[in-house]
Amino acid sequence: MHRRAITGIYSVITYYRCSISAPLWRCLRGMALWLTVIAGLVLPLSCLSYKPQSPAGLIEPSEQRTLYERNILNHIDDDPARAIQLVDLYGRESNLFEEDELSQYLSQASANIISHFNDQVGAEKFDEALALHQILETLQLAPQLKWSRDQIYLALTRQQLANGEILPALFSFAQIDSGGLLATDELQQLLNIAQQHNHHQAAQRINRILGKDRDSQTPALNLEEVLDGLVTVWVDRGYRIERGVGVPDRIVGSGFFIDTEGHVLTNYHIISSEVDSSYEGYSRLYLQLPSNLHLRLPARVIGYDPIFDIALLKAEWEPTYVFGLENSPHDIGYGSRIFALGSPIGLQSSISSGVISSPNRRFLQIGEALQIDAPVNPGNSGGPLIDDQGTLMGIVFAGIQEFYGINFAIPAQWVWRLIPQLYAGGQVEHAWLGASLFESQGKLEIQYVVPGGPADKLGIEKGSTLLKIANSAPRSISEAQELLVRHRPEALVRVEWSDNEAQHSGLVKLGSRPKSPIEELLKTQEVEYLFTPLFGIDVQRTNRNLPPREYVVQRVYPGTTADQLDISQGDTFQLYEWNVDSHRRLVSIRIVVKKRSNSFNDSGVQVGSLLDQPHFI
């Protein structure tokens, strides 16, 4: 029986104490205590340790070598990137292989990747070829290929144009370093598309290539014209019961057209019931147009990203105005003038104005959000944020209703990067190293390593310092996350880190980021192992069997929740309760602390933290 279940029995018996007779109470309490003690004796203490035990030291070196060799060979054909990571790992951590043996395995695995790359190019699956090209660049084997990165993007651009995939074609073109690879008629076709879809940066670049700089001026902002590109997003979820009465369950939000094919961007949280497998009720999505408020335009979800809170919808409609997405962000500084467009509480075609309060708030799981002071109300979510020239600055996604003027938007450059995955359909996946970082004095310290994740398999341990990802040195958590967003899940990258002993470098196959790392970890980990990423404290448990659990604080990270509560190293506390509120996205614990600063007197504290932490990579 699991220790958590037994502790739960004890808690339930204690809770219902008032309704149980005294003899029965004593009997049940004794049984629960004995069950807890037995669990502590029977269950090995190793269940509290998440590090997998290495076979090294448990078997003879010859058997260990055979095991490692079999592990490489099992992956070398089906998953050569994983085989290359194992070759790198075994070469760093053991002396069981000669250098030429590992080189042979490396060559065989690399040859398999090159062969797969050539197959994808031959089949005109250029998107898959790009993923393999990225791996071969990491291995410094790209010069051996007949196709360069620019040539693949060139072929992909032509393919997308032929298929009528307008925005993906503009995105692929933006990745080509040398625009001269395209013929003049192809450039002119792209220029017409860019101008029609208000992609001013793309139009300016093409005009420069064609020698038409005089034609690259950005048109003046016409707000009446811009409003024609808005939609109100409605999700009908039937009825919900409140106090025995059926009440219509409607979700209202905003959205905007981004191409003439009828694709609309909005927030994921508005349409989540359309794609979330855990939602079991009725859900129907439709749009309302400002030009015809009586028309219910059916729409469907094409792609969605729960982490960035973005969704791409498709309606059978040709808009008169579309919002242009840009390849790179404009200068966004404190006080920059902006307009928030949308349908607050369902009032279509509303405009509110304000400024950028801060361009770099850590409010998203990945990257930084824009804090704005423009009035935002329920229904504004999913609407565009533009500057005084009509350039898309971001997508409104949240407001703190209790505090006037504190609202947030997703920066447009993040949205632009997601375009290929959104148009491809389904849920967007992000690359994942599987670690939590603490940023201090220009250093990125590993404060938590996800058990079994890529960083764990690489050999990175808690307390190490992250130095480089893919040969780039991130100076902040946001920069580290941005480096990973450039790669796909299952990409092979080189990571460099240091610990107290030395500096290390290794190849790692990235994983796929969970929708909510903490939520996933709580399914397999005891909450005490997540105190560090959640509350900013390292702890050591001082009792193993009887509840409540007792801990001594080993370290407090500056600026974290625990630090703000004046918890310090050497303090002790007992954990009485912890709760996860998935709806409000919060984790809370109820503890009784003995603080050194308070002469070790008891002090009850309720500690809360966001479930979606912004420092995982």
Does 381 participate in catalysis according to the annotation? yes
Identity of the amino acid at 84: I
From the candidates 272, 343, 357, 381, give the one annotated as an active-site residue. 381
Joined together, the tokens standing for residue 433 give 């190293």
From the candidates 236, 249, 269, 387, give the one annotated as an active-site residue. 269
Identity of the amino acid at 32: A
From the candidates 88, 259, 309, 571, give the one annotated as an active-site residue. 309
- The neighbour count for residue 179, using CB atoms within 10 Å, is 18
How many angstroms separate the CA atoms of 358 and 381, rounded?
A: 19
C-alpha distance across the termini of the chain, in Å? 34
Task: Collect all residues with Cβ–Cβ distance below 8 Å to 262 and sequence separation of at least 6.
Answer: 314, 315, 316, 317, 318, 319
Rg (CA), the chain: 28
How many angstroms separate the CA atoms of 298 and 293, rounded?
A: 14
Joined together, the tokens standing for residue 177 give 């370093």
CA angle (217, 219, 223) in 5-degree steps: 160
Which of 574, 567, 557 shows the shortest CA–CA distance to 596? 567
Q: Residue 406: what are its φ and ψ, rounded to 5°?
A: -110, 95
Q: Is 309 left (phi over 0), alpha (psi -120 to 50) or beta?
A: left
Joined together, the tokens standing for residue 552 give 């001594």
Q: Per-residue DSSP letters for 311-378?
A: EEEEES---S--PPP-SS-----TT-EEEEEE-GGG-SSEEEEEEEEEEEE--SSSS-EEEE-S---T
Does 309 participate in catalysis according to the annotation? yes
Q: Is 341 exposed, middle or buried (0-12, 13-18, 19+ CB in 10 A)?
A: buried
- Catalytic residue IDs: 269, 309, 381
